[in-house]
Each structure stands twice: as C-alpha cells, then as structure tokens.
Chains A and B, each alone.
Chain A
Amino acid sequence: MKLNAEQQEALTHLDGPVRIIAGAGTGKTFTLIHRVDALVKSGKVREGKILLLTFTNKAANELSERLVKMGHKGIKAMTFHSLAARLLKKYWCEDFEILDEKSREEIIKNLMDKFELVRSKKLIKRPENNPLLYKKYTDVLKERNALDFSLLMPSLLEFWEENPTILEKCQRLFDYVLVDEYQDVNDVQIGILKKLTELHSNICVVGDSDQTIYSWRGADASTLCDFAAEFNCVRTIILNKNYRNPPHILSAANCLIENNSNRFEKALKATVSNSEKINYWSLSDEYEQEEAISFCLENYFGAISSMHDAHDLDHKSKGRGFMDLAILYRSQLEGRIIAELLAKKGYPYQISNNEYFWNKKEVRGFMAELSVLRNYKFVRDQKFSSWLGERIDDFVKAGKFSGTQISRLNQLVIYAIAYDSLSLKEALLQFIVEYEIVEDQDNLIFDNKINLLTLHAAKGLEFPIVMIIGLEEGALPSKKSINDEYMLEEERRLMFVGMTRATEELHLFSRSKFRSEKKDQSRFISEIPLDFIEYKSLPSQRMDRLKRKSAKRAQIKMF
C-alpha cells in the first residue's frame, strides 16, 4: 500500500506539534505507523525515545505488532495508565502497589466501619464525596504505599509538580510523543501530555472529533479543536480520503454529521467504488422487523438448516460468512430482541463488549450474588432470561448504580437468552459455570459468528454488512438526549460511527410502532438526503405470511 498525498504530508513535518485529523476509514493507524517509521528513518531519534500512547491495551498491542512487522521492535506503545504506572514505579517508588477494585473496596469498607459511617455503595464508589473518608482513604494508601487505578494519572501530575527535577528527567525520556484517538483524552491526560512535551513540543496527535462518543468519561468533541491553542499547534493535516465506505454511505454519513456544530469541519471523500445505497427498512412494528431481518439473513446466508429450503434460498443468497455481518444498536433492549431472534433461528452469534465487561465491578458483584442462588427453588415457570432480568432488577434496587452500570447489568440478559431452551435450574447452573470460564472471550470478532454490538462497542471496527436497528426518536437519539443539544450531537456521532462501520452494505431499521407504542422515525434518517437511500420492503409473499401470523396472534389474544 502506498501513502496518499495527505498521508505523505503527515510524514513530512516531523518536528513540533502536529495535529492529524483522521476521519473514519482514512487510514489513521496506517499513517500513524508510517509516521513512526519516518521518524526512525530520519535519524532524528532512536526507537526507544519514541512514545506512542493509546486508550486500550488492545490498541497498544495492535500498534506494537504492526510496528514489529515493519522492523521496529523498540518503540513503546502503551496506554496512559500504563505510562503513569511505569513512571511512578521508576521515579517515585519502585514497589508501590496498584490496588485492584476489590482491595480498594475493602479498604473503604473497613474505614466506613471504623468511623461508623453507613455503608453506601455510592460512597464506596466515590469516597471523595466524603472529605473525611477520602482523607483517611488516602492516608491508608500512603501507609500501604499504594495507589488505585483512578489515582495513577493525577498522582503522576502531582508528583511532577512537587519534583521539578524528576519532571525534567521524565521530559528527557521521550523526544517524540504520538497520541492515538486524541479526541478521547480528558483534562488530566492533556496535563500530562503538556508537561511531557514541554521541552521539545514534539507532539503529534491523531483523532476524529466526529467519533467522540465517550463524553461521560470526560472526553469532549472540542478537544481536537482546542489542541491548536493548548499546544501552539499551527500544523493540521486532514486525512479525508476514505478507504472503507461505499460513496453513497459515506456521503450520507457526511451529510448527517454536518448537523453537528461542535466539530472540526471536514468532508470525507470516497475512494471505494460501489454503487450500493443505504437500505432503509421503515417497518410497521417489531413483528415486521423480525420478518425483515430474517429475510435479510436468508439473503445473505441462504438456508442454514432445512435442505428443503436450500435450493430456493441458496439461489438468491450471496453466500456470506456469518462474521461479515454486524448488527448494531443503541440500547440493550434492542440487543436482547435481536439475540432472541437469532437464538430462535439457530444462527451462531456473539455479543461483543467493551473491554473488561466481565471484570466490571457491578457485573462481578451480581454474578457473585447469582452463584449463591445455585440451589434456587424456582416456583414460576418462565424463561431463564426473564428470571435473570428480575434478579437484576432486584439487585439494582438494593444498591445504587449509575445508568451505565445498570445498562451493563442488563446486558447480562442478552447473554442469558442463549440459555432459554434449558430448564430454569439447568440454565442457572450453566450460566454460572459459563461465567466462571469466560476468560478473554470478549471482542473475539474473528470467530465466524454474527456480531451483535452496541454502537459504542463498534467504534474502531469495520464489517462488510452493517445493520443498525431501533432508529426511532427516544431510542437513537436516546430519550434523555432529545432536549439536550450537547448530548444530541453525541448521539449523532454514534449514528455516524455506526454508519461508517459498513464497508459494503448498510441497512437501517425503524418501526412506527413498538410494543404497541407509537414511534417516530429518528431525525437522523431525515438528515440523510433521499438520494442515498433505497427504500426496502418485504416481498408480498412474506407480507402475507406476516399477516397470517398476526391474525393468529390476535386469535390467541381473544381466547
């Protein structure tokens, strides 16, 4: 692969602050890696003095791997957390302890008991809300010579503040610093970067303000815009040749995101030739949606079970692999509906989560309570997944959880659907066992299964076929964002991220009625010009089948 003109430009100015705005599918990682390569080849710097910062271990590993393939074994790619931990170990204290979530909680709980504070889950999570408790907590940490995960980066900044000579040492460690996904940094991280590059200003950041979807973690869509002022950066390179998405899909995504004001203005240009339009399924209700999705699946995969259907279906089918398809959704409820459908039909599917899903405190906490219920006496006959849903509701009621945590807990129900064919007792046991053996199974995108992901989890990935479901007001955009311009823009970015995951085909689904409630089509659909949309509907045969089914449902209701 050759670098295009803009990517080439990104390699020419090696010194001083540089900002690379890399839109979706423009070869961000490719350019980043070539910039590192160019740095080494320029002879300005040895490999060990280049620092590459990322947000996840996964990204760090991927970058390292690709650099090794290019022959650069000595370049350090790591996360912000791991940078902080390493520097603190080296200059502050060699053997300080990094507390895991469990030990951290233990300390806080003990303190609460000692000072006769009421044990509240909220306070355990945020001891800083009680100054006394927090003081005592940090005292214990000092005594134990320990830091918790969230304290790593602030402690580094503080430590530098107090020890200018050490700061200077740290500043001399790296001559060039590169930051991936800069749109996701928060203030503390910006602080670290400023200090770290103070002497040489050799900082290069790469990112895309249109893909900021982590506001709740302190990221802000304007971060990339503000970089210029914060770091005195005059050099901005815009990568706008998109190598991923078909032109119609890309133009549609461009038009959509132009409705955001808080962004770095740019328009992506397609290079892929493919005349595929966006397939838009405007459906009357969830039953029609089920039929439409089944219809799409048959078209892509042909017959999966019955030899009898095989001939008709396989003729039309495109013979896709399961892994070619990703179904994306905003809320766990939608994920649940899709998982149910796929489980019923026998399709292999996997639910991909953000990193560390199973390690999340609330997930671990709930699973721990669940395993105590091993011998639960089931009194009512119901599906395992709905039983589990009730347990989660109880669990949530008994404690205090953030919206994100509750939604993460509810995701367990989607996993549980796969167990619905078992007896309740059996399902519970297997579910617990399964949990005990999940190792790093999340994000196993390379298994040949249909991928179910939240829009958040889809960031950074691409799939030949993408379906986004639940495009209704109140779902995407979500209810709480509708009256909040700032959040609405984030929802729009989510939609943008979702659409730009598709390398070949994109299907959008909306329902005008869901669970008997009237729904309005998402404003995001209206923001896409009609030229890019192909309206889809079920063939009449399938509609007839649907009518028969609904007549049957009505009959059952009557009696």
Chain B
Amino acid sequence: MPFIADLHIHSKYSRACSKNLDLPHIDAWCQIKGIDLVATADFTYPAWFKELNEQLEEVDIGVYKLKDEFRSIAQVFIPESCKRDVRFILSTEISLIYKKGDKCRKIHLVILAPNLEVVAKINRELDKRGNIRSDGRPILGMDSKILLELLLSISPDIQVIPAHVWTPHFSIFGSKSGFDSVEECFEELSDHICALETGLSSDPPMNWQLSRNDKYVLVSSSDAHSLVKLGREATVFDTDKNYPSILKALRHEHEKVLGTIEFFPEEGKYHADGLRNENLCLDPEQTKKYNMKSPKTGKAITVGVLHRVSDLADRKLGARPKAAKDYWSIIPLTEVLSEIVGVGPSSKTVQRKYFELIEALGSEFYILKDAPIEDIEKVDEVLAEAIGKMRKGEVFVKPGYDGEFGVIKVFGGDENFSKNQLKMF
C-alpha cells in the first residue's frame, strides 16, 4: 500500500516553532492531514529525545508509534473519516555553518536514523562538537563532509538528505552560501547522497533541468514550524513501513518512491528574485538586466530558486528525464477555501468549513489529491470546481520572493497574477 511520508518537520524545541508541536499533537494532525509516516524531528535536543523515548514505541524495525496513553494529551477532534495509524521515523535537521574554499557555507541537512540507540550515539558525538542544547535544529561549525563521515562511522544505516536544496540561504545549492554540486560539498563521500529535498520553491520539473541530478531521487517535506503546515509537501512511498525498506527505496529501489506532493513552486518564499523591503519582485531576466542590484537603492537582489536553477541547468524547462516520477501540485485546503469564502485562511469560517469537509470526505490529502470530483461535488460544488482546476494546474500565480510567500489562486486574482502554464503532460 502506498503511503504518504513527511520526513522533515520540527518540534516545539526548534526556534520560532509553535509550542504545541509535541508528539500527541503531531500524531493527531497527521491524521487530519492524511500523513502516514512523519519525522520525529529534533532528535538531538536532549529534552525532546527524552520525550521520544518515553512516548514512542517501536512497531516495526526503526518505525515507531505514539503510545496509547499519550493520545489524549492532544485535545484535537479527529473525525472517523481521517483516523489512521500514524508512524514516526527518526529524522532531524542540522544547520552547518563553516568555511570551505574561502567562502562561508550555510547548509541544512536532514538526517534519518535507524533507531533510538543510534540516535543516542549521534547525540553524544554531536554534543562534543557543538551546541545541541540551545535549539531543536542545532547549529554546528562542522563541514558537511566531516559530519557525514562521523555519522557513517556511527552507523552505515544513517541517511543524510540535503534539505530544501535550492533556497538561497542554508541549502546545498543555495545562491548565497551553497555549492554548485553535491560533489563540491561531499567530495569522495558524495555517493552516499541518494535523495534531494526539493523545498517549497521548486518542483520536480525545475529540478529535471539538471541532468547531473538525475541519479538522485527527489523527495518533498513540509519543514513545518506549526501543526497546520504539516504535510504541505510530502513524499509518496510504495514500500513496507519500516526503516530498512524506506532506506532501500531511497538508496537503491527508486521505483518504490512513487512521487511527491508539491506546492506550486511560485507559492514558495524564494521562487522569484527580488527585495522584500522594496516590494521588488523580478524574474531572472530582469534581475540580470539590472545587474543583480536594485534599480532604486543599489542593494544586491536576493536571487530566487528559479534563477539559481536556470544558472546551473543544462536542460530546458519541460524536459523530462526517464526516471522522473509523478508529482501532485496542491494548494493547502484552507487557502482554497479562503479564496472561495473571501476571508483569511485562519479565520473561523474557513476553519469550520475545513473540519466539515474532512469529516464528510476524509483527510486533507485525500480531498486534494484522490477524492473523486463527483464526491466533492456532493458536498460543495464550488470547491469541486476549484480542486478540479488545481489538479489540472489551471491556477493563477503571484510568485514569492525574498522571504515573501507567493499567492496561488484558482479563480483568478488582480493584475499582479499571471496564469500558470498548464501541466505539461
């Protein structure tokens, strides 16, 4: 049975994260969202690691569930239609800041670990090398390669996945402080890398423009800092729900990764180029025309993901490599509802509507991705039309830039919006 996995989220112990990101709440919200397997996140943080040990029990090799006695802590109403067994996998994100080749590198990496014993070892080693007690996502001064070497010496079953690989800051291909290739970053250990996390601001077709990345399987995760953002992107696996099978799928059996659930990349905060403080949003051509500097203030323009990808690309947009996987572009359900109702996504009206819908139809992912349009029509005709359009990619976009989220609309917006290209196949 295929299942949906979100391999990169955060707990309440990470900086700027919601205080209710604890295991019982994550478990509850994964059901509402339709996530089957979710990252524990932040396992290097001592207090959180303790919670993991207390509240989780292993149900299959390297895969855990929330112990029943902790369920009631989350006072969240979960409709019958959404109920499922959520599984946890040990996964965390680490921020590396170091110098290589005289340039300052700031790289975020996701680390998957096979079990709690290995995590204990990882924590012990990292504790010696950096400060893991200040932040759920610790900052280390280590070189990515050295960290990878260390992790592999702890257990060969640890997997490192570069996180949101295209964001200008804190990513392996980032324009600001990243590298141009995996090899530049990991050198002779590069073969260990088997998967790349696309991040919100890029989707698979953008990534397909780089032939040298064909060998990597693309994964998507939410990097959620709050419960409602869980699963805003995710990966669909078709394998057994245990650590060895998932690891095998990522490493060798890429056919067991069915594809990814994606934001429209324009919605991501770093899709286009621009400067947030100047309300300046540009496409790559314009930025080049302005010599990478704001025509108004002369400040360096933040180069977005679209630009960065095209700089490194060796294929035209639209090329589809042989091993390419399916993907599903979605707009979060609350945003679709918000457009329909005409009030904000976190308003009471939208929230009420959201829960009515998932109660009637099923989890958010089911509604967005799988539910037959006729079934949705029976509950809400306008929504059915919106979801139909979304699934076909018939949406209007106003791209995000320099930390400002983009906006995606189904029924059209003002003059700032442009019509999205239709799905190419």
Q: Which residues from A are CB-within-8-Å of B166?
A: none
B135 interface contact, C-beta 8 A: yes
A302 with B104, Cβ < 8 A, contacts A307-B169, A310-B176, A441-B128 known = yes
Name 17 extra pairs, CB < 8 A, besides A310-B106, A344-B134. A301-B97, A302-B177, A304-B95, A304-B106, A305-B95, A307-B403, A310-B176, A311-B402, A314-B169, A319-B177, A321-B104, A322-B97, A343-B134, A348-B131, A421-B134, A426-B47, A447-B129
Taking CB as reference atom, which chain A residue is nearest B146? A448
A441 to chain B, nearest CB (A): 7
B300 interface contact, C-beta 8 A: yes
Please report A residues at the B interface, Cβ cutoff 8 Å: 301-308, 310-312, 314-315, 317, 319-323, 342-349, 418-423, 426, 430, 434, 437, 441, 447-449
Interchain CB contact (< 8 A) of A307 among B128, B131, B141, B170: B170
A349 with B131, Cβ < 8 A, contacts A306-B15, A307-B169, A322-B141 known = yes
B316 interface contact, C-beta 8 A: no
**A421 and B47 contacting across the interface, CB-CB below 8 Å:** yes
A304 to B170, CA, bound (A): 9
Q: Which 7 A-B pairs have the closest CB atoms?
A: A448-B141, A319-B104, A310-B169, A321-B99, A346-B134, A348-B130, A322-B141
Residues 119-144 (chain B) with a chain A CB within 8 angstroms: 124, 127-131, 133-135, 137-143
Q: Which residues from B are CB-within-8-Å of A345?
A: 134
A349 to B97, CA, bound (A): 13
Please report B residues at the A interface, Cβ cutoff 8 Å: 15-16, 46-47, 50, 95, 97-99, 103-104, 106, 124, 127-131, 133-135, 137-143, 167-170, 176-177, 269, 275-277, 299-300, 302, 402-403
B54 to chain A, nearest CB (A): 12
Taking CB as reference atom, which chain A residue is nearest B140? A348
**A348 and B139 contacting across the interface, CB-CB below 8 Å:** yes
A126 to B78, CA, bound (A): 72
Interchain CB contact (< 8 A) of B141 among A319, A342, A447: A447
Q: Which residues from A are CB-within-8-Å of B133?
A: 343, 418-422
Taking CB as reference atom, which chain A residue is nearest B14? A305
**A346 and B403 contacting across the interface, CB-CB below 8 Å:** no
A535 to B82, CA, bound (A): 63
A312 to B131, CA, bound (A): 25
Q: Which residues from A are CB-within-8-Å of B140?
A: 348
**A422 and B131 contacting across the interface, CB-CB below 8 Å:** no
A400 to B130, CA, bound (A): 35
Q: Which residues from B are CB-within-8-Å of A437?
A: 124, 128
A448 with B402, Cβ < 8 A, contacts A302-B104, A307-B170, A343-B133 known = no
A346 with B169, Cβ < 8 A, contacts A306-B15, A419-B133, A421-B133 known = no
Taking CB as reference atom, which chain A residue is nearest B99? A321
B385 to chain A, nearest CB (A): 35
A307 to B302, CA, bound (A): 12
A306 to B98, CA, bound (A): 16
A320 to B104, CA, bound (A): 6
A430 with B46, Cβ < 8 A, contacts A303-B169, A346-B15, A348-B130 known = yes
Q: Which residues from A are CB-within-8-Å of B141?
A: 321-323, 348, 447-449
Q: Which residues from A are CB-within-8-Å of B134?
A: 343-346, 421
A346 with B131, Cβ < 8 A, contacts A305-B15, A310-B170 known = yes
A312 to B142, CA, bound (A): 24
